[in-house]
C-alpha cells in the first residue's frame, strides 16, 4: 500500500510538478520527483507540529547559527519516515537504482565544519524529541568552496548547490523584513530612533526537518538577501544597464557566499553585515510570532529561548534591547534584563584569534544605534558588578565573546574539558562575577544519520540483536556489551566492517584510480586542516614509518592505509602547505614498490558530509591528535567511536569523555595534557630538544629537507620543517615520540583480530551517550527550560 502510494506520488510529481515524460526522465528528475513525493509526507506532521505548539502555548527554542552543514536531505527524510524499502522498490520499478538517485542530490554545505554540523545534528534531534524549535541561518547562494588538487595543491572553486532545483526549501516571500544599515540615530519625542540610510530585504525559505518516525517536524528558516527596490528602471532606460542593477547586486552580496574560515574573520564589513542581517531578521520573526500570541513583552523569557551558536549572532543582544526599548518602549534596564533572560551563548573555541572583535569605528558606522546600546549594556554590567574587570569595549574594539557572555542567561562549553578551560582562561574574570552562568553540554551526533543510514551493515547487525529501540535511545547500545565476548557476533561485526572497507576500496578504485587492500588497517584523519589539529604530526609519523619499512622490508609490518580528508581556509597559507606535503608524501610512498604493500597514503579531495558518511563506516582507527587544550569538543571523534573505530588521541575535547566511557583499554592515548602543554611551551628550544632526543623524528624531517617529496627541492616545505623544529607552538615535535609509541601499539593490537574486534564492539556499545538527543535534552533542561510536546 505504502509502496503503491509512493509510486503514484513519484509519477505524479515527475509528470505534473516537473513536467517530465517518464520516458525521458534523467536521474535528476527521478531524484526530484522522489523528493517531492517524500516531502509531501512531511508536510502534514509539520503543520501538526506547528498547530500543537500554538495550541499548547509551548515555549519555543530558536537556534541562531551562521552555519548549518546539513548535507543531503533526501535519505535522511526517507529513513526517518521509514520509507527506505518502499523507495527502493519504487525506484527499481522505474528502472532506477535508489542509491544512484540518492547520490544525485547536491551536498548542502552551508557551513565550514564541526560547528555547522553540530547545528544540523541538533535540528534533527530537536525534531526527534518533539521540542518546538526553529533553526535560523543564511541561505548562502554558494556554500563552502569545492576543493580539488592540482599537482598536490589545494584549488578552490565556487560551490553551486542551488544551480539545480532545491527540493526542500519553501520560499516564503510574504515573510520578509527590511533590514537597515548605516544612517544615524535621531530623536523623536525624546526617544532615540535609528534611521538607517541603507536597507535590504531578508526573505525567508523554510525547510522542514522531520524527526525519527515522522512524529514531529521543525523548521529551518534561512534568509535570502534581496534588494528593497528591484531595479532602477530610469537608469536602465537611459542605457546604463550595469548601473541599473547595481543596488540589486550589492544587496544580494550579503547572502552570496559562506565565509570559508571558521576561526578568523575577514572581509570585515560584509561579514558583520551578514551577521546583523540574519540575526535581525530572525529576531523580528521571533518577536512577531511572540506578539501574535502574547501582549506583554515581559513574558518573552517564559515563552522564548534563543541560543547563539558561537558569537556570530552576538549582535542579538543589542538588537533585542533595541526592539524592546526603542520600539516597544520598555525601560532600558528592564529591556536589558529581559533580553538577557532570553538569550544563551555557546562558546566553541578558546583560540584567541577566533574570538570575534569588531572595531568601534566599523560598528558605529554600520550599526550606530547598536554601538550606543553596547555602551549602555557595558554600563549596566558596571552597575551590577562594581568591581568588574572586563569591559565590552577595549582598545577601540567591541569584544563579541564578552558581549555574548554578559547578555546571556547561560553560557555553555561543548565538552567537560573545554568548559573547565573556559572558566580558567577566556572567561576567567567573567566567571568569577557570574559563577553560575557557565554550564557544560558535551556535543553529540545524530545516530539516525551517523549510524542508521551511513552504516546499514552495522545497523542491521545491531537490529538483529537488540531491535530498533537504540535509534532514538542510543544508550540501548550498552546491551551489545556482552556480545563482545561472543565469537559469532564478533565475526559478524568484523564481516560488516570488512564489507564496508571493500566497498570503500571499490569506490577509491572507481573514482581515484588507486588500489587499496581491504585487509590493511584503515586509519583515518578527516577534519578541517588546521595546525592545532596536527595533520602534520600524522604525516611525519607516516614518513618515519616508511623509512623504517625501507630499512627492513622483510619485517613483520602491519599493513596500513592512511586516509586524509579536509579543506584549508583559502587564506590559511600554512594549512595549505600541510595539504601539499601530505599529497607529495602520498605520491612517493604509493609509488614505492617495496613499501606500498605495507603503507599507503590517500587524500580524496572535497571532504564534506557525504564523504564523511562514506569513510567513517569503513574506518578502523580514528586520528584525534590535536594539541591538548585546543579542540573544544570534536564530533568526528564520536561518529568514529560509534561506528567501531578505535581512537588514537590526546586528552583533548570530548576525547576525554570518550576514553572514560569506552574504557582506557579500548583507546590509544598519547601525548601531553593541556597543563603539560602550557609548561612545555616555557621550555627553551623545546622542539630542538625533542628532535635531538628522537632520531626517527630528526630523520623524517631531514627526508623532507632533502627534497625527497619535492623533486629534490629542499626548500619547498621549509615553512613546515622550520616551524616544527623552531617555534612549534602546537608541539608537534614534543608529542612525536609518544605518538610513534602509541601508533606501534596500535599495529600490535591490530594483529590480534579477536581482541581488536572486542575493543571495537565495546566502542560501539559504550558510545550511546554521544547521541545529540542526549545533548539536546541537556540544553532543554539546563538552559532553555523547554519541554517536548507530548504525542
Ligand atoms: C563531523 C564533521 C566535522 C567535524 O569533525 P571534527 O573531527 O570534530 O573536527 C567536520 N566536517 C564534516 C563534514 C563533518 O561531518
The per-residue pLDDT for range 756-783, each reduced to its tens digit, is 999 999 999 999 999 999 999 999 999 9
Question: CB 568: neighbour CB atoms within 10 A?
Answer: 23
Q: Could you say which of 117, 399, 410, 527 is catalytic? A: 527
Q: Could you say which of 635, 647, 757, 764 is catalytic? A: 635
Question: CA 638 to CA 248: how far, in whole Å?
Answer: 44
- The helix/strand/coil state of 120 is helix
Active site residue 527: yes
Tell me the pLDDT band of 790, cut-offs 50, 70 and 90: confident
Question: CA 192 to CA 174: how far, in whole Å?
Answer: 29
pLDDT (tens digit per residue) in 2-12: 899 999 999 99
In the block, which residue shows the cell 527506505? 84
Active site residue 346: no
Give the CATH architecture of domain 61-69+121-443+776-784.
3-Layer(aba) Sandwich (3.40)
- Measured from CB, residues less than 6 Å from any atom of ligand 1 are 69, 113-114, 117, 527, 608-609, 612, 634-636, 639
Question: CA 633 to CA 658: how far, in whole Å?
Answer: 11
Mean pLDDT within 440-461: 98
Cell representation of residue 250? 550589492
pLDDT (tens digit per residue) in 491-545: 999 999 999 999 999 999 999 999 999 999 999 999 999 999 999 999 999 999 9
Question: CA 608 to CA 116: how far, in whole Å?
Answer: 12
Decide whether 61-69+121-443+776-784 matches 463-770 in CATH topology: yes
Active site residue 528: yes
pLDDT (tens digit per residue) in 98-135: 999 999 999 999 999 999 999 999 999 999 999 999 99
The sign of the torsion formed by the CA atoms of 74, 202, 299, 411 equals positive
Is 558 a residue whose pLDDT tops 90? yes
Q: Could you say which of 348, 490, 501, 560 is catalytic? A: 348
Sequence-separated (6 or more) residues with CB below 8 Å from residue 463 = none
Of residues 550 and 190, the one with the higher pLDDT is 550
Active site residue 348: yes
Atom 14 of ligand 1: nearest residue by CA position? 609
What order do you get walking across the sheet with 393-394 strand by strand? 357-359, 397-399, 393-394
Is 353 a residue whose pLDDT tops 90? no
DSSP at 381: H
Q: Could you say which of 7, 528, 536, 659 is catalytic? A: 528
Is 421 a residue whose pLDDT tops 70? yes
**Domain at 463-770, CATH class:** alpha beta
Percent of the chain exceeding pLDDT 90 equals 94
Question: CB 396: neighbour CB atoms within 10 A?
Answer: 9
Question: CA 363 to CA 398: how far, in whole Å?
Answer: 8
Tell me the CA–centroid distance for residue 229 and ligand 1, in Å.
40
Is 250 a residue whose pLDDT tops 70? yes
The residues spanned by each domain of the chain are 1-56+72-106, 61-69+121-443+776-784, 463-770
Atom 8 of ligand 1: nearest residue by CA position? 634
Question: CA 54 to CA 215: how far, in whole Å?
Answer: 17
pLDDT (tens digit per residue) in 272-317: 999 999 999 999 999 999 999 999 999 999 999 999 999 999 999 9
pTM value is 0.97
The number of the ligand 1 atom at minimal distance from the alpha carbon of 526 is 7
The sign of the torsion formed by the CA atoms of 729, 735, 737, 743 equals negative
Amino acid at each position: 500500500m505504502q509502496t503503491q502510494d509512493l509510486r503514484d506520488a513519484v509519477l505524479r510529481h515527475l509528470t505534473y510538478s516537473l513536467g517530465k515524460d517518464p520516458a525521458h526522465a534523467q536521474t535528476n528528475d527521478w531524484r526530484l520527483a522522489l523528493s517531492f513525493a517524500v516531502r509531501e509526507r512531511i508536510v502534514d506532521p509539520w503543520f501538526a507540529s506547528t498547530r500543537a505548539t500554538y495550541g499548547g502555548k509551548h515555549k519555543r527554542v530558536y537556534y541562531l547559527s551562521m552555519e548549518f552543514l546539513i548535507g543531503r536531505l533526501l535519505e535522511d527524510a526517507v529513513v526517518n519516515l521509514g520509507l527506505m524499502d518502499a523507495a527502493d522498490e519504487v525506484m527499481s520499478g522505474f528502472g532506477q537504482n535508489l542509491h544512484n538517485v540518492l547520490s544525485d542530490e547536491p551536498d548542502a554545505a552551508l557551513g565550514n565544519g564541526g560547528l555547522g554540523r553540530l547545528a544540523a545534528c541538533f535540528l534533527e534531534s530537536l525534531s526527534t524529541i518533539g521540542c518546538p524549535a526553529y533553526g535560523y541561518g543564511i541561505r548562502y547562494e554558494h556554500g563552502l568552496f569545492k576543493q580539488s588538487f592540482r599537482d598536490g595543491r589545494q584549488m578552490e572553486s565556487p560551490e553551486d548547490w542551488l544551480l539545480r532545483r532545491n527540493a526542500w526549501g519553501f520560499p516564503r516571500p510574504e515573510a520578509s523584513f527590511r533590514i537597515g544599515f548605516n544612517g544615524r540615530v535621531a530623536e523623536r519625542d525624546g526617544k532615540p530612533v535609528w534611521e538607517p540610510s541603507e536597507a535590504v530585504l531578508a526573505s525567508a525559505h523554510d525547510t522542514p526537518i522531520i524527526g525519527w518516525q515522522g512524529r514531529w517536524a521543525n523548521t529551518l528558516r534561512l534568509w535570502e538577501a534581496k534588494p528593497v527596490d528591484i531595479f532602477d528602471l530610469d537608469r536602465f532606460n537611459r542605457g546604463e544597464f550595469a548601473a541599473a542593477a547595481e543596488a540589486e547586486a550589492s544587496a544580494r552580496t550579503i547572502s552570496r557566499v559562506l565565509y570559508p574560515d571558521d576561526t578568523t574573520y575577514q572581509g570585515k564589513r560584509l561579514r558583520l553585515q551578514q551577521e546583523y542581517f540574519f540575526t535581525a531578521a530572525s529576531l523580528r520573526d521571533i518577536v512577531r510570532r511572540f506578539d501574535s500570541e502574547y501582549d506583554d513583552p515581559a513574558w518573552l523569557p517564559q515563552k522564548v529561548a534563543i541560543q547563539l551558536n558561537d558569537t556570530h549572532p552576538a549582535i542579538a543582544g543589542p538588537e533585542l534591547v533595541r526592539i524592546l526599548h526603542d520600539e516597544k518602549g520598555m525601560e532600558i534596564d528592564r529591556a536589558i534584563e529581559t533580553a538577557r533572560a532570553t538569550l544563551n551563548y555557546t562558546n566553541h573555541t578558546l583560540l584567541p584569534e577566533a574570538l570575534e572583535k569588531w572595531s568601534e569605528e566599523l560598528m558605529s558606522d554600520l550599526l550606530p544605534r547598536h554601538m550606543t546600546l553596547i555602551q549602555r549594556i557595558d554600563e549596566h554590567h558596571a552597575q551590577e558588578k562594581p568591581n568588574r574587570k572586563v569591559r565590552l569595549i577595549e582598545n577601540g574594539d567591541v569584544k563579541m565573546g564578552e558581549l555574548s557572555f554578559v547578555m546571556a542567561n547561560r553560557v555553555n562549553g561543548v565538552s567537560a574539558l573545554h568548559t573547565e578551560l573556559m572558566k580558567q582562561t577566556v572567561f576567567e574574570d567573567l566567571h568569577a562575577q557570574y559563577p553560575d552562568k557557565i554550564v557544560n553540554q558535551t556535543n553529540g551526533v545524530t545516530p539516525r544519520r551517523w549510524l542508521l543510514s551511513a552504516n546499514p551493515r552495522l545497523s542491521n547487525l545491531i537490529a538483529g540483536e537488540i531491535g530498533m529501540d537504540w535509534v532514538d535511545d542510543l544508550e540501548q547500545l550498552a546491551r551489545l556489551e556482552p556480545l563482545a565476548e561472543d565469537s559469532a557476533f564478533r565475526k559478524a561485526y568484523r564481516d560488516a566492517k570488512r564489507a564496508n572497507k571493500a566497498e570503500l576500496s571499490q569506490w577509491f578504485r572507481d573514482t581515484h584510480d588507486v588500489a587499496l587492500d581491504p585487509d590493511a588497517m584503515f586509519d583515518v584523519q578527516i577534519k578541517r586542516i588546521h595546525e592545532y589539529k596536527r595533520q602534520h604530526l600524522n604525516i611525519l609519523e607516516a614518513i618515519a614509518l616508511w623509512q623504517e619499512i625501507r630499512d627492513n622490508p622483510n619485517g613483520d609490518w602491519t599493513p596500513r592505509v592512511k586516509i586524509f580528508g579536509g579543506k584549508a581556509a583559502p587564506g590559511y597559507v600554512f594549512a595549505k602547505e600541510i595539504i601539499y606535503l601530505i599529497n607529495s608524501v602520498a605520491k612517493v610512498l604509493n609509488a614505492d614498490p617495496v613499501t606500498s604493500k605495507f603503507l599507503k597514503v590517500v587524500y580524496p579531495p572535497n571532504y564534506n558530509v557525504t564523504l564523511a558518511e562514506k569513510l567513517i563506516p569503513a574506518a578502523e582507527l580514528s586520528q584525534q591528535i590535536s594539541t591538548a587544550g585546543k579542540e573544544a569538543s570534536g564530533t568526528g571523534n564520536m561518529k568514529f567511536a560509534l561506528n567501531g573505530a578505535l581512537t588514537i588521541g590526546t586528552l583533548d575535547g570530548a576525547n576525554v569523555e570518550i576514553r572514560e566511557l569506552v574504557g582506557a583499554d579500548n583507546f590509544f592515548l598519547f601525548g601531553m595534557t593541556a597543563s603539560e602543554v602550557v609548561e612545555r611551551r616555557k621550555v627553551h628550544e623545546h622542539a630542538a630538544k625533542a628532535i635531538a632526543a628522537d632520531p626517527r623524528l630528526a630523520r623524517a624531517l631531514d627526508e623532507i629537507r632533502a627534497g625527497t617529496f619535492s623533486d629534490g627541492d629542499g626548500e619547498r616545505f621549509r615553512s613546515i620543517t622550520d616551524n616544527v623544529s623552531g617555534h612549534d607552538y602546537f608541539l608537534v615535535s614534543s608529542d612525536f615520540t609518544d605518538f610513534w609509541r602509541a601508533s606501534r601499539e596500535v599495529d600490535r593490537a591490530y594483529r590480534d583480530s579477536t581482541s581488536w574486534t572486542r575493543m571495537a564492539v565495546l566502542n560501539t556499545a559504550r558510545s550511546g551517550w554521544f547521541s545529540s538527543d542526549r545533548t539536546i535534552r541537556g540544553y532543554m533542561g539546563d538552559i532553555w527550560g523547554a519541554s517536548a510536546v507530548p504525542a
